[in-house]
């Protein structure tokens, strides 16, 4: 259990399961839990106000009477609020260029903290057709396979044409490592897959040539009347927009036309079933983001790619299988992992599952094993960065340094 798989109170959420989950605003915004703080006000895309939980198990904690959780902004504003102005005490997920963070830290109001875990920046490949020409309710669903991303040669060409070393250099510096794995850690579960690390424009072009994708007069490839023209979306973020620009350039070198879109993070990750711009709805051909798993065992994380977890109108677009990838062989391996207790065997199965969705099928294209970079005020004590759970995991132990 953890931040992405919390324990919820049965009575409070009894009528909020499955497709009904997004509709339970009162329960979702005011969950009853056992943590050190409880919600007093929740304003979507803005701020959450919390107060100390009078029923917390340790009467001497937390050290703060209130906590304000600000959302809806961006990494630059968050970093400045802690490192430059001292307005806030903690800034999470500073996905900024290394030199930008260094400039902010020079103000002396706070310090950065970083550690590696299982956070991977990746491109998700839509295995279904997101075309607006389809009836609403059928877009990006299993009823309609993608017209060209269903071709494994196209997916592999997209992957090997990317220079991951350069992405790390411009986006993360020492806080990033090129990777071909969805699960980069712990070591037991990390595959030795390095196939994608060679930047191979020539190889990508040969793959597409051999698969019958022919360049037109404008340099964009076509086959059977289908044009390699895709929409690439991600959240609004300076590093991600830099990545988009570079990847667009590499893809155009192999004859793939690329349109870029960026969406406010609060909308992209918001999960509103009425919005066309969420990463779950996936009304684009490919999209880029990062996430990870709670704890050190990736079973639930890998199980998120099974057929039954594809978001759909019937589930109010809830579900973790964002690519809509569906293969009974993969589902069978997930079931085997669930029946297996011996650690070495679990590691072997997990590595096979990782390879299945990355190097074998390229439905997920890993880019960067990201170190988590955050910042806290010089006056905030007790912070211990935990890359295997929420960064608020020990907020009960935070205190003010005079």
Residue 145 pLDDT? 97
Dihedral sign of CA atoms 377, 380, 382, 388 in order? negative
* Phi, psi (deg, nearest 5) at residue 212: 90, 15
Residue 18 pLDDT? 85
Residue 384 pLDDT? 95
Return the H-helix or E-strand segment holding 11.
helix 10-13
Ordered by where they begin, the domains of the chain are 10-113+373-400 (3.40.190.10), 117-371 (3.10.105.10)
* Phi, psi (deg, nearest 5) at residue 318: -90, 145
Burial string for 39-63 (b: 16+ CB within 10 Å, else e) reads beebeeeeebebebbeebeeeebbe
pLDDT string in tens for the chain (402-residue length): 677 778 899 999 999 988 888 889 999 999 999 999 999 999 988 899 999 999 999 999 999 999 999 987 788 999 999 999 999 999 998 988 888 999 999 999 999 999 999 999 999 999 999 999 999 899 999 999 999 999 999 999 999 999 999 999 999 988 999 999 999 999 999 999 999 999 999 999 999 999 999 999 999 999 999 999 999 999 999 999 999 999 999 999 999 999 999 999 989 998 899 999 999 999 999 999 999 888 899 999 999 999 999 999 999 999 999 999 999 999 999 999 999 999 999 999 999 999 999 999 999 999 999 998 999 999 999 999 998 888 999 999 999 998
Helix (H, G, I), strand (E, B) or coil at 109: coil
CB contact at 8 A, 12 and 27: yes
Closest CA to 360 of 384, 327, 337: 327
Residue 23 pLDDT? 87
Residue 394 pLDDT? 95
Contacts of 146 (CB under 8 A, 6+ apart): 126, 127, 128, 129, 130, 285
* Spatial distance between the Cα atoms of 234 and 286, rounded to a whole number of angstroms: 9
* Spatial distance between the Cα atoms of 366 and 368, rounded to a whole number of angstroms: 6
CB contact at 8 A, 86 and 328: no
Closest CA to 305 of 342, 276, 333: 333
> Is the omega angle on the peptide bond into residue 174 within 30 degrees of 0, that is, cis?
no
Residue 294 pLDDT? 84
Q: Which residues pair with 120 in a beta bridge?
A: 291, 369
* Phi, psi (deg, nearest 5) at residue 222: -140, 155
Helix (H, G, I), strand (E, B) or coil at 161: coil
């Amino acid at each position: 259990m953890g931040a992405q798989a919390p324990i919820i109170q049965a009575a409070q959420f009894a009528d909020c399961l499955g497709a009904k989950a997004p509709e339970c605003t009162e329960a979702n915004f005011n969950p009853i839990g056992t943590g050190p703080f409880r919600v007093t006000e929740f304003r979507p895309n803005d701020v959450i106000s919390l107060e100390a939980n009078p029923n917390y198990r340790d009467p001497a904690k937390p050290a703060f009477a209130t906590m304000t959780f600000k959302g809806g902004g961006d990494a630059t504003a968050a970093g400045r609020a802690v490192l430059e102005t001292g307005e806030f005490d903690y800034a999470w997920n500073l996905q900024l260029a290394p030199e930008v963070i260094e400039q902010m830290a020079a103000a002396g109001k706070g310090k950065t903290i970083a550690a590696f875990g299982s956070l991977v920046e990746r491109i998700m490949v839509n295995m279904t057709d997101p075309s607006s020409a389809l009836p609403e309710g059928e877009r990006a669903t299993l009823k309609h396979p993608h017209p060209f991303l269903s071709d494994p040669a196209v997916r592999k060409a997209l992957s090997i044409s990317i220079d991951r070393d350069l992405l790390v250099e411009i986006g993360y510096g020492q806080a990033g490592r090129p990777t071909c794995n969805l699960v980069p850690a712990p070591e037991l579960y990390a595959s030795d897959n390095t196939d994608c690390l060679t930047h191979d424009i020539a190889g990508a072009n040969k793959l597409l040539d051999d698969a019958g994708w022919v360049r037109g007069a404008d340099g964009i490839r076509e086959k059977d009347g289908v044009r390699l023209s895709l929409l690439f979306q991600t959240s609004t973020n300076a590093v991600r927009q830099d990545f988009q620009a570079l990847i667009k350039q590499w893809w155009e070198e192999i004859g793939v036309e690329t349109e870029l879109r960026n969406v406010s993070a609060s909308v992209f990750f918001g999960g509103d079933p009425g919005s066309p711009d969420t990463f779950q709805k996936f009304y684009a051909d490919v999209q880029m983001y990062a996430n990870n798993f709670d704890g050190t065992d990736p079973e639930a994380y890998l199980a998120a790619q099974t057929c039954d977890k594809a978001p759909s109108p019937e589930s109010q677009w809830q579900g973790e299988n964002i690519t809509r990838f569906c293969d009974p062989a993969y589902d069978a391996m997930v079931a085997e992992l669930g029946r297996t207790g011996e650690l070495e065997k679990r590691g072997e199965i997990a590595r096979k599952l990782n390879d299945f969705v990355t190097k074998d099928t390229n439905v997920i294209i890993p880019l960067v094993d990201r170190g988590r970079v955050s910042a806290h005020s010089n006056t905030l004590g007790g912070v211990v960065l935990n890359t295997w759970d929420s960064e608020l995991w020990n907020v009960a132990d935070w205190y003010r340094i005079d």
